[in-house]
Amino acid sequence: MRWTPSILLHRMKKLSSDYSIRRIQQQVRQRVRLEQQRSDDRQFQEANRLKRLPLYLFTILDELKVQAIQEGKAVIDLGMGNPDLPPPKHVMEEMARRAKDPASYRYSRKSGEVERRLNEAIAAWYNRKFGVSLNPKTELLPLIGSKEGIAHLSLSFLNHDDVALVPNPTYPVHFSGIILAGGILYSIPIQADHRYLPNLRGISQDVARRAKLVFLSYPHNPTTAVADLKFFKDTVEWAKHYRLIIVHDFAYSDFVFDGHRAPSILEVPGAKDVAVEFHTLSKSYSLPGLRLGFAVGNADVLASLAKTKSYVDFGLFGAVQWAAIKALSGPQDYVQRVVDIYRNRRDVFVHGLQNIGWDLSMPHATFYVWAKIPLKFSALTSLEFATLLMHEAGVVVAPGSGFGEYGEGYVRFALVEPEQRLREATRRIERVLRMRD
């Protein structure tokens, strides 16, 4: 065979891409071994429930990002769903004003003025938005972010022989809270063929009778799926039959596109008998660092959650509560502007990926893109593929396995960068997709 310059160049590119993939596979496997070695070598051993947890997804993403920066790459971080838009101006101004008031620095008390007004603001907001009436004194509970409340709910209700049902893939706290509480995690695979909705009636009666909690989240992170009111009606009926608590994580209620609507499960008549719903100011109002969420719904469930929290925290900073009141009670045009920005980003990014040959459909909700790993890279795990994108393109994405074993084979992009950066990300990703087979 005559080695012409073009053949030599092709061969060099092939060797280079093979080397990159092998090197990344070795790095990922070495990372797993190192983590196990660290655990074995600790002087003080962690509780077994901590050892049962996988390495936290966003810890992995931070490590990938640090590696890319150390390699001199200008990183585009599409890994964590960390909103990049500035919050509403009137909310920031209220936060700053109240932070200057010495009274804001006292312990939060359930009977205090700001606490009462925040509860009333949450109830009024829910009624305007979903037509759901809530008793401000008994049917809602402010939280230090919805994640905290979801984790503590498992602690409030699960004994060591209690089962909790969780669709998989899912947002990690849905399963990690169960493991930390010592409960039994029962994963329900959800797949694209069934619109990522769990087949609850397909669960055996034996498992359903032993279960105490079932977790849902629509619009869904990470798959971007949506659920309609009929799905929630069927779920409420099923949960009442087995006397289960429905836990609905509703963080992305505003982020629906193309004529879709995200209903509250509490719109179903009688849902309060079995359901609680979690919301947050992190996404709709771009306030992730404020750490304020709330749970609404069944009064008895919320009373138990409040009891658990009373032993581990003293409530929310007063200035944060005043700022939340401004967000919920003030002008709401900000929310629609934010949704429009994320919809435009979705269009730019998804069309960009499609144009470079990545086969995926347009998501109808959230500000994520859930993408099956291209066929030519299917021999890689999702973590290995995410590492490849970081090393070769400087683009950080979330590996699907971080959301549960049924997320393997996928990656999640968070659209938390401006449109021009998303266009740049697609150009960089194209170079990876064009790597020689």
* Alpha-carbon distances of 337 from 95, 106, 251, rounded to whole Å: 21, 35, 17
Query: Is residue 103 in some structural domain?
Result: yes
185 & 309 share domain? yes
* Alpha-carbon distances of 424 from 79, 148, 218, 414, rounded to whole Å: 16, 35, 30, 15
* pLDDT tier at 16, thresholds 50, 70, 90: very low
| Residue 147 CA from chain centroid, whole number | 9
Q: Tens of pLDDT along 111-129? A: 899 999 999 999 999 999 9
Express the helix, strand and coil content of the chain in percent, nearest 5 each: 50, 15, 35
pLDDT of residue 64: 74
pLDDT at 414 over 50: yes
Q: How far apart are CA 423 and CA 411, in angstroms?
A: 18
Q: Which run of H or of E encompasses 413?
A: strand 410-414
Mean of pLDDT over the chain: 91
Q: What is the mean pLDDT of residues 408-413?
A: 97
Q: Please, are residues 147 and 293 in contact by the beta-carbon 8 Å criterion? A: yes
| Domain edge (last residue) among 296, 314, 329 | 329
Q: Which domain CATH number covers 206?
A: 3.40.640.10
Query: Is residue 9 in some structural domain?
Result: no
pLDDT at 403 over 70: yes
Beta pairing partners, 297 = 276
Q: How far apart are CA 366 and CA 346, in angstroms?
A: 10
Percent of the chain at pLDDT > 90 equals 80
* pLDDT tier at 24, thresholds 50, 70, 90: low
Structure tokens at 224: 């971007």
Q: What are the E-state strand segments in 128-256?
A: 140-143, 163-168, 184-189, 211-216, 245-249
Q: Which domain CATH number covers 55?
A: 3.90.1150.10
Q: What is the mean pLDDT of residues 298-303?
A: 98
Q: Please, are residues 361 and 6 in contact by the beta-carbon 8 Å criterion? A: no
240 & 301 share domain? yes
Longest dimension (CA), the chain: 86
39 & 131 share domain? no
The one-character DSSP state at 380 is S
* pLDDT tier at 69, thresholds 50, 70, 90: confident
pLDDT at 19 over 70: no
* pLDDT tier at 28, thresholds 50, 70, 90: low
pLDDT of residue 217: 98
| Domain edge (last residue) among 329, 358, 384 | 329
How many domains, the chain?
2
Q: How far apart are CA 183 and CA 181, in angstroms?
A: 6
Expressed as residue numbers, the domain containing 148 is: 89-329
* Alpha-carbon distances of 190 from 174, 253, 404, 406, rounded to whole Å: 15, 20, 11, 8
236 & 276 share domain? yes
Q: Please, are residues 84 and 288 in contact by the beta-carbon 8 Å criterion? A: no
223 & 359 share domain? no
Structure tokens at 290: 């404020």
137 & 239 share domain? yes
59 & 207 share domain? no
Query: Is residue 3 in some structural domain?
Result: no
Q: Tens of pLDDT along 160-211? A: 989 999 999 999 999 999 999 999 999 999 999 999 999 999 999 999 999 9
pLDDT at 321 over 50: yes
380 & 292 share domain? no
Q: Tens of pLDDT along 83-113? A: 999 999 999 999 999 999 999 999 999 889 9
> Residue 215: helix, strand or coil by DSSP?
strand
Q: What is the mean pLDDT of residues 409-425?
A: 98
pLDDT of residue 68: 77
Among 36-45, 291-300, 340-349, name the one with the lowest average pLDDT. Answer: 36-45
Q: Please, are residues 214 and 164 in contact by the beta-carbon 8 Å criterion? A: yes
| Residue 118 CA from chain centroid, whole number | 25
* pLDDT tier at 63, thresholds 50, 70, 90: confident
Residue partners of 318: CB distance under 8 A and separation at least 6: 98, 101, 103, 104, 105, 106, 108, 114
Strands 368-372 and 211-216: unpaired
- The Cβ of residue 218 has, within 10 Å, a number of other Cβ atoms equal to 27
* pLDDT tier at 267, thresholds 50, 70, 90: very high
Query: Is residue 310 in some structural domain?
Result: yes
| Residue 262 CA from chain centroid, whole number | 16
| Domain edge (last residue) among 329, 360, 391 | 329
Nearest to 313 by CA among 94, 173, 142: 142
Q: How far apart are CA 144 and CA 41, in angstroms?
A: 34
Q: Please, are residues 108 and 122 in contact by the beta-carbon 8 Å criterion? A: no
* Alpha-carbon distances of 351 from 127, 161, 196, 299, 358, rounded to whole Å: 37, 48, 22, 45, 9
pLDDT at 154 over 50: yes
Query: Is residue 158 in some structural domain?
Result: yes
424 & 307 share domain? no
Query: Is residue 8 in some structural domain?
Result: no
The CA-CA-CA angle for residues 54, 60, 431, to 5°, reads: 130
Query: Is the Cα dihedral 107, 109, 114, 118 positive or negative?
Result: positive
pLDDT of residue 415: 98
* pLDDT tier at 2, thresholds 50, 70, 90: very low
Query: Is residue 60 in some structural domain?
Result: yes
Percent of the chain at pLDDT > 70 equals 91
> Residue 53: helix, strand or coil by DSSP?
coil
Query: Is residue 267 in some structural domain?
Result: yes
pLDDT of residue 29: 67
Q: Tens of pLDDT along 324-370? A: 999 999 999 999 999 999 999 999 999 999 999 999 999 999 999 99
Q: How far apart are CA 30 and CA 384, in angstroms?
A: 12
75 & 94 share domain? no
308 & 380 share domain? no
Strands 368-372 and 395-396: unpaired
191 & 216 share domain? yes
pTM: 0.91
Q: What is the mean pLDDT of residues 405-432?
A: 97
